Structure 1
Amino acid sequence: MAAPLTGPSQSMRRLRALLPQVLDSVDCLLFDCDGVIWRGDEAIPGAPQVINLLKERGKRVFFVTNNSSKTRKMYADKLQALGFNAKEDEVFGTAYCSAMYLKTVCGLQGGKVYLVGSNAMSQELEAVGIQQTGVGPDHIHGKQGDWAAVELDPDVKAVLVGFDDHFSYMKLNRAFQYLTQRDCLFVGTNRDTRLPLEAGKAVPGTGCLLQAVETAAQRQAQTVGKPNHFMFDCVASQFGVDPSRCLMVGDRLDTDIMLGSNCGLKTLLTLTGVNTVADAEVHQKSGSAERQGMVPDYYVESIADLLPALQG
């Protein structure tokens, strides 16, 4: 059963309705992926049934992830392989959303992107007609004077930073050299500093790479991923969803729950990933208006807790 978080800081949103009533109040559900519907390459037990039953009940379901290492199609293929009824156009990852941001918000026309990122990001950029350069290793050579005079592509009009397992000093330097041109756009996929793994382990996330580039360039990037409202804007503009009839489901307070708060969505924290109820209570008691945005309306142990209401 979903339990509401209540208290003085949430006096305007004391939602004590039972889970069936909560589900009846929404037409659309947005799910984070890792830690919510799967861990690594395995589905959270019961998650495929929940997603599939929601759709059978006529709910719209979307998948929103800050991970930029896969294209929409790659995510759809993974979802389907794990037993989820999912389509490519229901997936909104930062590889796709960054391409859309550069095309629609930045109005990038006729210029290239210097990409610190993955092949998936390259594919999503090219799918919307944006050329890129930079994918793959960039090994260091020469001396410092050579690094400062590194060859740059004159057609590059933007730097985009996502997760890049080939990140190197030369890539950092090349991004910095482009960004010394003040009219060069600067965009990052997300600011997640850690990628959680199994058994409580983690590795550095995209936010670490982005901060390195920002520090070198002495400029701050516009970020596309959660909790930035642009990810929800992508969903809303394409499917015409009503924010007041949407529920954001996630395991991270600073990205998933904050996205919901930023966009006027109901929020549900699942405890199968990063954050705990205790974490939310610390934000709730902080007295900080910004941190109140990280307090979810509801929490569940796992999204499998939705099964009884859906099967009834």
Structure 2
Amino acid sequence: MAGAFAFKGCQKIRGAQIRVLLEAKDFFLFDCDGVIWHGENAITGAAKVVNALIRRGKNVVFVTNNSTRPRENYVNKFTRLGFTDVMLDQIFSSSYCSALYLRDVVKVRGQVFVIGCEGLRRELLEAGIPCVEEDDDPDATIYNCALAPDVKAVLVGHDDKLTFLKLAKASCYLRDPECLFLATDNDPWHPLSGGRILPGSGSLTAALEVASGRKATVIGKPSRFMFECISSQFSGVDPAQCLMVGDRLETDMLFGSNCGLDTMLTLTGVSQIEEAQEYRSSDLTTNHSYVPDYVVDTIADFLPAFEEIEEQND
């Protein structure tokens, strides 16, 4: 079904066009921040859209590069914000997928040194992956601190308590060419209120890449591995029957393109349609992977399409 719609190609769609898309797709992948909610506030109408899709028998999953909380916390947040039908197995965070990668793909045999928040460590521990315990003396430096034995991987996620010592330790572990270098995601920054920004995992990973002279394997979007996780847990996932809905061209739209999915940009988050149009006009063909197939102002634009479907079925 991918490519079957005449209105594809960075086009704003509404009404009947959205209805055709909703009827044609079986699997909907949603980013969270900027698409479903802003912080502790749900996007207006988002809960109605998600609940309606689920109740109509559509497969709905959430793919987020946010590695700061375990999936159980996401379920609680969805429920708190009015998303009454969301279950644990619908949530694919970069922390959860990193745990699956370490356990099932590389089958790590040893400890993992984590630069990240407690939520990332919890996902690893729940998957049975031992993490290096951080118990350094407050005055410890890289000159005199202890280095853990048997570290087989370094995993970098968002860490608001990053220290120079953590960075230095990770650099030491990565001198062993057999030690894996992984990153939950490569998001460079995240928007905050008042025009401020928060450095993302990608900025921390970049620092360690320079220090170690190595490149990290990225687990989250736009890597294909997140989609492979979904395909392994939901039988019969056909990329042509999927729609990826996100707010960031370089992450969500590229992820969809990498996985062969139709993509939709919602304008409630980071990227705007003017940026997408610039990528579409670019002479660099690689930039075309950032261009969404469809654009909506907000996923609440789905709601009139649901009403049309109900009227047709009456």
TM-score higher than 0.5: yes
Structure 1 residue runs without a partner (length 5+): 11-15
Distance 1:152 1:300, change over 3 A: same
CA–CA separation in structure 1 for the residues paired with 2:136 and 2:269: 32
Name the structure 1 match of 2:3: none
Which of 167, 172, 189 is matched with 1:172 structurally? 167
CA–CA separation in structure 2 for the residues paired with 1:311 and 1:133: 53
Aligned residue pair count: 299
Distance 1:275 1:258, change over 3 A: same
CA–CA separation in structure 1 for the residues paired with 2:135 and 2:146: 16
Cα displacement (A) at 1:150: 3.6
Name the structure 1 match of 2:291: 295
Task: Tell me the percent identity.
Answer: 46
Name the structure 2 match of 1:125: 124
CA–CA separation in structure 2 for the residues paired with 1:120 and 1:88: 15
* TM-score, structure 1 normalization: 0.91
**Cα deviation code 1:233-285 (max 9, x no counterpart):** 11111102111100000000011011000001110000000001100011101
CA–CA separation in structure 2 for the residues paired with 1:125 and 1:158: 12
Name the structure 1 match of 2:41: 42
Cα displacement (A) at 1:197: 1.8
CA–CA separation in structure 2 for the residues paired with 1:247 and 1:171: 39
CA–CA separation in structure 2 for the residues paired with 1:136 and 1:307: 52
Cα displacement (A) at 1:201: 2.7
SS at match of 2:279: helix
Counterpart code for 1:33: C
Cα pair 2:9 2:291 within 8 Å, conserved: no
Distance 1:141 1:280, change over 3 A: same
Q: Does 1:272 align with 2:275?
A: no
Name the structure 2 match of 1:94: 94
CA–CA separation in structure 2 for the residues paired with 1:87 and 1:70: 16
SS at match of 1:133: coil
Distance 1:91 1:172, change over 3 A: same
Name the structure 2 match of 1:64: 63
CA–CA separation in structure 1 for the residues paired with 2:76 and 2:259: 28
SS at match of 1:220: coil
Q: Does 1:233 align with 2:228?
A: yes
Structure 2 residue runs without a partner (length 5+): 1-5, 309-314
Counterpart code for 1:121: L
Q: Does 1:82 align with 2:78?
A: no
Cα displacement (A) at 1:38: 0.1
**Cα deviation code 1:87-119 (max 9, x no counterpart):** 11100001101111111221213x110011111
CA–CA separation in structure 2 for the residues paired with 1:236 and 1:250: 19
Q: Does 1:191 align with 2:186?
A: yes
CA–CA separation in structure 2 for the residues paired with 1:56 and 1:199: 37
Q: How do 1:108-257 residues align onto structure 2 when only pairs under 5 Å count? A: 108-109=108-109, 111-134=110-133, 139=138, 141-142=140-141, 147-148=142-143, 150-240=145-235, 241-257=237-253
SS at match of 2:210: helix
Name the structure 2 match of 1:305: 301
SS at match of 1:114: strand
Distance 1:277 1:238, change over 3 A: same
Name the structure 2 match of 1:6: 9
For the aligned residues, what is the CA RMSD?
A: 2.1
* TM-score, structure 2 normalization: 0.90
Counterpart code for 1:307: L
Cα displacement (A) at 1:135: 5.5
Distance 1:162 1:140, change over 3 A: farther
Residue range with higher mean Cα deviation, 174-183 or 98-107: 98-107
Cα displacement (A) at 1:200: 3.5
CA–CA separation in structure 1 for the residues paired with 2:16 and 2:284: 26
Counterpart code for 1:62: V
Distance 1:28 1:86, change over 3 A: same
Name the structure 2 match of 1:13: none
